[in-house]
Structure 1
Amino acid sequence: MHQFSGNTILELRDVTFSHPDSNGVKTEPALRKINLSIREGDSVSFIGPSGCGKSTLLRLLNRMTDPDDGDILYHDKPLIGQDVLKIRKEILLVPQETYIAPGTIADNLKIVQSGDNISEADMLHVLKSVGLDDKPLNLDSTRLSVGEKHRLALARAFLLQPKILLMDEPAASLDLPRARAVIDTVRELHLKYNNTIIMVTHRFRLARRLSGTVVMLVGGEIVESGDSSDFFNNPETIEARNFLKDSDED
């Protein structure tokens, strides 16, 4: 497993966030006083029960939304105030609900390279890496299933080579062999470019396969974080032990 050795690339200081209700009034905090440092080149998995704030945390890191309180630093500078478009290219989020543009598979892949700069060989390689090598490049993207559209979005992300890749349940729609193939491709990208990977997943085998660091959230708070091997082999908190014991991991 890759071990990080870089400087701190992201730092969260007392980050708190609440979702507004239909009247715009802030509700119970989804995240409470989050303190976390992520180093360049690390691979991190956020795990925890449904509704614990994992996906919300990814959206804060990508500036899809901003915290109510606290600070997020990117390369030691406040994330708020930096150019949003630049941030979203460097800290790229692949959400669960992905956007696929009208047109063919090739059209969707060319978006990231401004048209003609991407070769057919590169497109075929990245499609194979996400298990879409049986789909022709000229196939209309509307003919893809929901799971296939998610894999196409992941392929686009691979082509962009962001500094930080945020993935929200990247293998949720895949069976275990295909899920492992996708995670192995992410790991290859991680090792080749030494970028930082942050993944939300409920599938512990995948977190163990990819990540050097695990962060567990419960009720919007971090209850345990540290080395992946230590977490899975000897979790320190009762919340982590119970959650791992009760999981329905395949």
Structure 2
Amino acid sequence: MTALLDVRDLHVRFRQDGAVTHAVRGVSFSLERGETVAIVGESGSGKSVSALSTVSLLGDSAEVTGSVTYDGQQMIGADEARLRKVRGNDISFIFQEPMTSLNPLHTIERQLGESLALHQGVAGPQARARILELMEQVGIRDAESRLTAYPHQLSGGQRQRVMIAMALANTPDVLIADEPTTALDVTIQAQILDLLKDLKDRLGMGLLFITHDLGIVRRIADRVCVMKDGEIVESGPTTEIFANPQHPYTLKLLSAEPAGQPEPVPQDAPTVVETEHLKIWFPIQTGLLRRTTGYVKAVNDATLQVRAGETLGIVGESGSGKTTMALAIMRLIASEGAISYKGEDVRAWSTRDLRRLRKDMQIVFQDPFGSLSPRMTCAQIIAEGLTVHKVDPDRDQRDLVREVMVEVGLDPATMDRYPHEFSGGQRQRIAIARAMVLRPSLLVLDEPTSALDMTVQVQIVDLLRDLQAKYGLAYLFISHDLKVVRAMSHQVIVMKEGNVVEQGRSDDLFENPQTDYTRTLLQATH
């Protein structure tokens, strides 16, 4: 019997400025109707390139050879008219970041309607009825009120559901999901995976799932292909691959999970940051006179303490107030309630006083590429804070940069390269070096590992623990990845809709959660 999608001896080469990059090397796999096949590997392994090759979406610089058949018909070398008919109609894609895939200027109704009009000629009331049906099918509540919404008015989970609705609009035979849950909260991630499995079973689709997360593969896939350096190094039924992996790279991926615990906090460790009844409400102002008609209650009542050498993990879904609370502690946004730094009330500090606070409190963001200037070299990025805060003015800045690069595991010989010349893990190390060069007392880590491959996550967790033990750093560690939080944190706060619903020692909270919401979060990671 002919497979629904059959890829044989696929090679993809990119030619640019006379150089040739052999991105995919002899890849072969098949997908049957009603089956889920996962392609697993780290960034740059060729997963997405292999998937995009199925309907020739790689652009003019790509040279594709081999065979890709959909329902027995050859896709490589097919004319544009044939490819247009298949794309989005018979083979649909869900991409990793819905915010970049959705048009920010068009409403949800218009974007869903475009696909129906293009492939089925459906418009007007008939299209609207189908759009509402799709939105309800993917679990968007109160769908009718969302039709006129723009992408920025939806949460991350809702945007991803819209992407899935667009992919399903024409009832495709093959759905290719490229890292569709990477940036989502654990509860939303679990909902999206359950939704995809349910839709696949009901509609009889073939699902090609691309990911670097083996936990997701175990949960959703029938068969798995492990990719490394453009090649499939191992493939087979999911249960067999997990029970008896044969290739060293598969073993490496399976063992790449943050583990262990941070060093215990000394008994006499001084308190670095403390808050009491912290409250952050943003006024909603309407009308010509901008009268306050209500409040967005971002954080309602947060009391916490972080000592030198201690990590406070802050977990919760998007919109729960995690990052807002950290920004208020750093005095970057207004708040009510007491905030003290090393015993001093910082609420009344002047702009000049706050400059010292800026040096002592540093932040590392989720997306290292977005937080590093593409126009500055690695050395310039790391040294910028030294100039602003006049740190060690008598020392050569390049010497200080060299020292901190070695400390975070970067080769100082690369200091004159630009961010795009580094991998994701290396860029995150640059961001950590930029913060560490100022020798802060408190480091706010806002989802610092969520955009990274599993093996790189382990490296970054080990690095952060080593730096904390060496310098007695206090960490505020914000994450939706509970495995990473457990490996990093001494204390944990669980937030929901601006409220602290549970807090306590990390081991106690993970072993014996006291609230239904914490139990729901923990269950969603299994």
Q: Give the shorter-chain TM-score range.
A: 0.7 to 0.9
Given the alignment of the two structures, is residue 91 of structure 1 paired with residue 361 of structure 2, yes or no?
Answer: yes
Between 183-192 and 229-238, the greater mean CA deviation after superposition: 229-238
Alignment map for 1:4-15 (pairs within 5 Å): 4=265, 5=267, 6-15=269-278
Matched, 1:187 2:450: no
Q: How many residues align?
A: 244
Deviation for aligned residue 1:48: 1.0
Matched with 1:199 is: 477
- Cα distance in 2 for residues equivalent to 1:181 and 1:146: 12
Cα deviation for residue 207 of structure 1 reads 1.0
Change in Cα spacing, 1:123 to 1:193, as seen in structure 2 (3 Å) is closer
**Equivalent residue, structure 1, for 2:319:** 51
> Do the aligned partners of 2:365 and 2:445 also contact (CA within 8 Å) in 1?
yes
CA distance in 2, matches of 1:76, 1:123: 29
Partner of residue 116, structure 1: 396
Alignment partners' CA distance in 1, 2:413 and 2:449:
19
What is the one-letter code of the residue matched to 2:365? P
- 1:246 is matched with 524
**Per-residue displacement from partner, 1:115-137 (whole Å, max 9, x unpaired)?**
82342642541452xxx659822
> Which residue is 2:439 aligned to?
161
Residue 137 of structure 1 aligns with an amino acid whose one-letter code is M
Counterpart of 1:197 in 2: which secondary structure?
strand
**2:387 corresponds to 1:106:** no
For 1:127 and 1:194, how far apart are their aligned partners in 2? 16
Q: Percent identity?
A: 26
Q: Name the SS of the counterpart of 1:70 in structure 2.
A: strand
Q: Which moved more, 1:158-167 or 1:13-22?
A: 13-22
Structure 1: distance between partners of 2:426 and 2:295: 35
Q: Which amino acid aligns with 2:489?
A: S
Select the residue among 283, 296, 301 that pairs with 1:28.
Answer: 296
Report the CA distance between 1:146 and its aligned residue.
7.2
The one-letter code matched in structure 2 to 1:71 is A
Tell whether the 8 Å contact from 1:98 to 1:149 is kept in structure 2 after alignment: no
In the alignment, the residues of structure 1 paired with residue 264 and residue 404 of structure 2 have an alpha-carbon distance, to the nearest angstrom, of: 29
Higher relative contact order (CA 8 A, sep 6+): 1
| Partner Cα separation in structure 2 for residue 147 and residue 40 of structure 1 | 26
2:275/2:304 contact within 8 Å kept = yes
What's the TM-score once normalised by structure 2's chain length?
A: 0.43
1:228 counterpart (506, 517, 520): 506
Is the Cα–Cα contact under 8 Å of residues 272 and 342 in structure 2 kept in the other structure?
yes
Separation in structure 2 between the aligned mates of residue 192 and residue 117 of structure 1, nearest angstrom: 22
CA contact (8 A) 1:41 1:196 kept: yes
Question: Are 2:332 and 1:64 aligned?
Answer: yes
**Which 5+ residue runs of structure 2 have no aligned equivalent?**
1-261, 388-394
Query: For residues 235 and 72 of structure 1, what CA distance do their matches in structure 2 show?
Result: 28
Structure 1 unaligned spans of 5+: none
1:79–1:178 Cα change, 3 Å = same
- SS of the residue 1:170 aligns to: coil
- C-alpha change, 1:243 and 1:213, in structure 2 (3 Å) is same
Q: CA RMSD in A?
A: 2.6
Cα distance 1:121–1:149, how it changes in 2: closer, same or farther (>3 A)?
A: closer
Shift of 1:205: 1.5
Closer/same/farther in 2, CA of residues 84 and 17 from structure 1, 3 Å limit: same
* Structure 2 CA distance for aligned equivalents of residues 54 and 81 of structure 1: 24
Distance in 2, matches of 1:117 and 1:75, equals 29
> Residues 138 and 205 (structure 1 numbering): CA distance in 2 closer, same or farther, change over 3 Å?
same
Give the match's secondary structure for 1:103.
coil
CA-to-aligned-CA distance 1:4-33 (integer Å, 9 cap, x gap):
232332221111112344757462210001
Partner SS for 1:41: coil
Helix, strand or coil for the counterpart of 2:281?
strand
Give distance in 1, aligned partners of 2:427 and 2:282. 28
SS at match of 2:317: coil
Q: Aligned pair in 2 of structure 1 residues 150, 8: CA closer, same or farther (>3 Å)? A: same
Comparing 176-185 with 136-145, greater Cα deviation is found at: 136-145
State the structure with more CA Rg: 2
TM-score, length of structure 1 as denominator length = 0.86
Single out whichever of 84-93 and 109-118 deviates more from structure 2.
109-118
User: Relative to 1, partners in 2 of residues 1:22 and 1:214: Cα closer, same or farther, differing over 3 Å?
Assistant: same
Greater Cα shift, 203-212 or 3-12: 3-12
Deviations 1:149-175 (A, max 9, x none): 444222211222210111111112101
Partner of 2:342: 75
- SS of the equivalent of 2:282 reads strand
3-state SS of paired residue (1:27):
strand
Alpha-carbon separation, structure 2, partners of 1:139 and 1:118: 14
Q: Is the 8 A contact 1:46 1:214 kept in 2?
A: yes
